[in-house]
Amino acid sequence: MNNLAAFTAEGYGVLLFAKLIFGAIAVFFGILTWHKTRKSYMIFFVFGIFALYISILLQTAGYFGFIILEPLKIGNISLPLWHIFFETLPVIFFITALSLFLKSEGLF
């Protein structure tokens, strides 16, 4: 059940390719940053970058049909729990990083 029609529609291939390339560059710099810092807010920022790239990789694998993340069905409601989790995890890490930064600078 790959979704190649969505991949080829409206330049989605270019968008996905750009997300993969720039995400890989961000992860590379995240790895370099991780070894240079000991501050908790920077670690959570790097975790957010890693989680964002994992989300992009899972999205790519889903579009090519390598993995199928079925939504949880409760009665008539279909909840895409995996998509919700992997899309919100980077934001949660970024919120944590910014909160810790404000706390460490005495602004919070």
Whole-structure pTM value: 0.81
Backbone angles phi, psi at 98, to 5 degrees: -70, -35
Q: How many CB atoms lie within 10 A of CB 14?
A: 9
Tell the burial category of 101 from Cβ atoms under 10 Å away from its Cβ (0-12, 13-18, 19+): middle
63 contact partners, CB below 8 Å, separation of at least 6: 2, 3, 4, 6, 7, 16
Q: How does DSSP assign 70-92, residue by residue?
A: PPEEETTEEE-HHHHHHHHHHHH
| Tens of pLDDT, residues 48-100 | 999 999 999 988 888 778 888 788 888 888 888 888 899 999 999 999 999 99
Number of separate domains in the chain: 1
Give the domain range for residue 86: 4-104
Q: What is the pLDDT of residue 4?
A: 56
* Res 42 pLDDT > 60: yes
Task: Give the separation between CA 49 and CA 24, rounded to whole angstroms.
Answer: 10
Determine the 3-state secondary structure of 45 from DSSP. helix
Candidates 40, 43, 21, 22; CA nearest to 31 is 43
